Structure 1
Amino acid sequence: MGCQIRLLMLFGTLISFASVVLSKQGTSVYYARPYLPSACYGNRNQGIMIAGANPTLYNGGKVCGRRYKVRCLGGTNKTPHPCKSGEITVKVVDLCPGCGANEINLSQDAFSRIANLKAGRVRIDYIQYANLKFLVH
């Protein structure tokens, strides 16, 4: 029994290291309502905690439905206090054709939970939770 507990602790430690390694840094902007239609779901409402992926991440729609945990790291301009504490989870529902590499276009509702809207663009850290794609419909 003690060996199993040690293995579980080791596995948990490895997973926490993997999440740090797999996270990416980039930037985020936001888009305002209406959030429909979207490239992934057409006129089917997917809520307000949503995002558009840059063309590389979008990968022909393969990213549709995947969830990402996003947090603000800092500003890209002189807006004071651009970040709010905490992180959000968003679902990719759209393509952002004008977004650059490692840029995610958050819904205004999502962006406003992690950053000051006046900032317009912020530096972010994001990580994909592929397993959540299949748990939430």
Structure 2
Amino acid sequence: MGSSTMLLKSFAVLALLVSSAMADWSRGTATFYGGKDGSGTMHGACGYGNLYNQGYGVLNAALSRVLFNEGASCGQCYTIRCDDAKSGWCKVGNTVTVTATNLCPPNYALANDNGGWCNPPRPHFDMSQPAWEHIGIYRAGIIPILYQRVKCWRQGGVRLIISGFNYFELVLVTNVAGSGSIQSMSLKGSKTGWITLTRNWGALWQCNSALVGQALSFKITSTGGQTLHMNSVVPAWWDFGTTFTSNYQFDY
């Protein structure tokens, strides 16, 4: 076999490997917001509140509507890199993994390619500035990116925060590993059967029952298809606004 034939075959194999690797990535764009310390990204549309306290930190992003999926994507993790084949504003070779914590709302007064970056059907990440500066040069303002959804790695167990009043409870689930997001939830009081919760908004799930004074158990199914059975994880003395950290966690 001649050297030229071997060289052509080597290029063909390399092209196939590159094509296969690229199949795992999707194309989009990214901007940034929230200041150099990321403080302006707190209290987003997912309902997590203070992201430092919830363990998410500053490596987060607001998703355009097509990615946000009415809040079903809250808590999901994405690895992002600047598409240096399309831009000279990249920090070449760098990647960053962010958590979806907010919605980047559409701005229909601006064209999709001229300021309406989060308008449907654009896949866009409005990243915290600290996250964005891992992959892009500050002056660029907006960069083309490649992104893929990845597993989330969390320290400790799933956390539950119950808010509301009387016959109305909102349950916020945070620090979710694995797929990072919740598909469905139900709970059981020590004096009730199982009650199916509905998504109120973002990562907040709603229940309309009298539950004060009862120990609470939960069944939580992630978008990755795993289900946690959390028996009596919230004691009967719970009060609105209290955070409960469990020993339960989804598999990585």
TM range, smaller chain: 0.7 to 0.9
**Deviation of the 1:134 alpha carbon:** 2.1
**1:109 counterpart residue number:** 130
**2:213 counterpart residue number:** none
Percent identity over paired residues: 27
Structure 2: 5+ residue stretches without partners? 1-18, 107-117, 153-175, 181-248
Number of residues of Structure 1 aligned to a counterpart in Structure 2: 118
Amino acid at match of 2:105: P
Give, in whole Å, the separation in 2 of the partners of 1:82 and 1:75.
Answer: 10
**Deviation of the 1:75 alpha carbon:** 9.0
**1:66 counterpart residue number:** 76
Give me the TM-score of the superposition, normalised by structure 1: 0.75
Give, in whole Å, the separation in 2 of the partners of 1:134 and 1:113.
Answer: 23
- 56, 60, 70: which one aligns with 2:66: 56
Give, in whole Å, the separation in 2 of the partners of 1:75 and 1:108.
Answer: 22
**Deviation of the 1:20 alpha carbon:** 3.2
- 37, 40, 43: which one aligns with 1:37: 43
Structure 1: 5+ residue stretches without partners? 1-15
Greater strand fraction, Structure 1 or Structure 2:
2
The secondary structure found in structure 1 opposite 2:101 is: strand
91-100 or 32-41: bigger deviation: 32-41
**Deviation of the 1:42 alpha carbon:** 4.0
8 Å Cα contact 1:75/1:121 also seen in 2: no
The secondary structure found in structure 1 opposite 2:23 is: helix
8 Å Cα contact 2:48/2:101 also seen in 1: no
Deviation string for 1:5-34 (max 9, x for gaps)? xxxxxxxxxxx94x6324210110111232
Q: For residues 75 and 122 of structure 1, do their structure 2 counterparts lie closer, same or farther at Cα, with a shift above 3 Å needed?
A: farther
Amino acid at match of 2:22: V
Greater helix fraction, Structure 1 or Structure 2:
1
Name the structure, 1 or 2, with higher relative contact order (CA <8 Å, separation 6+): 1
**2:223 counterpart residue number:** none
Note the aligned Cα RMSD (angstroms). Answer: 2.6
Greater CA radius of gyration, 1 or 2?
A: 2
The secondary structure found in structure 2 opposite 1:57 is: helix
Q: For residues 94 and 26 of structure 1, do their structure 2 counterparts lie closer, same or farther at Cα, with a shift above 3 Å needed?
A: same
**2:240 counterpart residue number:** none
